[in-house]
Amino acid sequence: MNLSLVSESAHLAGMQLEESLGKYSITCKVGYFCHFNLIQLSNQPHFHNCYELCVVTMGEGKFLYGDKTFSIQKGDIFMADPGVVHEIRVNSTQDLQLIYFFIEIREDGSTVPKTAQDNAVHSFLIGHKAIAGSQQHLLAYLSFIKEYMTSNRSGQYGIKQALKNLILESLDALSERGGGLGKERAQASNVLELALDYIDQNLNNNLTVREIAGSACVTARNLEYLFKKHFNKTIVTYINEKKMKLAAHYLTKQFSVSETAAQIGLNSATQLTRLFKKHMGINPKSYQKNYIARVKEFGRRNQNTGL
C-alpha cells in the first residue's frame, strides 16, 4: 500500500453503502486511512455502537480488544463488536497503517437465509473471531478502487461493488466456520457439516434433533454420538449456546425479551431468561441495560472513562 492509494482513497471517507441481501441488510460507512507511528502511538481505549472492521494495509502493531491483545500486520483484518472497548497501539519503533469501516447489520425476521451472501452474514452473527490473519487478497479491492477512481471519477458503481465484496468476504473470513461464500452447501459430504449448516440456517426456529439428523441423512442417535465425540456436548446444548449468542445480538438491537424469544424460536420470555442466564451468566434485561445504555449514535467514537 503506498501513499498514492491513501490519497485516492481519501475520497472514500464518509461514503455510505447500503445493501439488502435478503434476510439481512448491511449499512457500511467508510472511515479514513489511519497511520500509527512515533507521532501517534495509540487511538486510546474507546467503543462504538456498531461493528468496526479494520483492514491493515501496512506495517504491524497491536489490537487490544476487551481483555485480549492481538498482534496485527499487513493483510490482517480485525473486528470490534458494538459496545466492546478496544484500542490500536504501536511502540516507538513500529509503523502501522489501516482503513476502518463502520458496519450495521439489520435482519428481516420473517425470512431465512437463502443466498451465499446471506449465509455469510448469518454465520458471522452466530459466532465470529476478533481477527483473521493473512487476508492480503482483500487489499486488491482497495487497489481496484484507486484505479477505478482514477479512470472513472464520475461513477461509483464499481466502487460500491468492490466495497460490498470486501465487507462480505471479511465477514466470511471472521466467521468461526466460514459463511460459505463461493461453495455449494448442498454438496457437503461431511455429516457434521450438514447438521451444523442446517442448525445455522434454522436457528430462529424450534429445532428438533430428529429433523437435524434427517437433514444430514443419519439417525438421531448417530448424530448425538458425533456431537458428543467432536464437541463434547449434546446437540441441544450446542443449539442453545448458538441461540443465546443470536439472542444477545437481538437484545443489542433493543428487541424486547419476548420479541427476542420469538425471533430465536423459543416458546416464552421465561424460557429465554432461564437459558440466557445459564449460558451468558446474566439475565436478558440486565444485558440490555449494561451494554446498550451507553450507545449514543451510529459510528460515534467514545473515550473509555472507566465508568
Tell whether 25 and 128 lie within a shared domain.
Answer: yes
What integer is the mean pLDDT of 91-116? 86
Tell whether 159 and 209 lie within a shared domain.
Answer: no
| Residue 228 domain boundaries | 185-292
The verdict on residue 90 lying in a domain is yes
Percent of the chain with pLDDT over 90: 44
The verdict on residue 162 lying in a domain is yes
pLDDT recorded at residue 142:
86
Confidence of residue 7 (pLDDT cuts 50, 70, 90): very low
Percent of the chain with pLDDT over 70: 84
Tell whether 280 and 225 lie within a shared domain.
Answer: yes
Per residue in 52-86, pLDDT tens?
Answer: 999 999 999 999 999 999 999 999 999 999 999 99
Tell whether 220 and 148 lie within a shared domain.
Answer: no
Per residue in 11-61, pLDDT tens?
Answer: 567 788 898 888 899 999 998 889 999 899 999 999 999 999 999 999 999
pLDDT recorded at residue 116:
78
How many structural domains compose the chain? 2
The verdict on residue 301 lying in a domain is no
- Residue 304 C-alpha cell reads as 473509555
Handedness of CA 245, 305, 64, 67 (dihedral sign): negative
Per residue in 284-305, pLDDT tens?
Answer: 888 878 766 555 455 555 565 5
Helix or strand (DSSP H, E) at 50: none
Tell whether 93 and 16 lie within a shared domain.
Answer: yes
Tell whether 142 and 214 lie within a shared domain.
Answer: no
Tell whether 106 and 16 lie within a shared domain.
Answer: yes
Look at phi and psi of residue 66 and say left if phi exceeds 0, alpha if psi is from -120 to 50, else beta. Answer: left
CATH number of the domain bearing residue 128:
2.60.120.10
* CA distances to 82, 159, 178, 281, 300 from 174, in Å: 15, 23, 7, 25, 23
Among 174, 197, 224, the domain-final residue is 174
Tell whether 167 and 267 lie within a shared domain.
Answer: no
Q: Cell 499487513 belongs to which residue? A: 74
Tell whether 170 and 190 lie within a shared domain.
Answer: no
Q: In whole angstroms, give the CA distance from residue 181 to residue 52.
A: 21
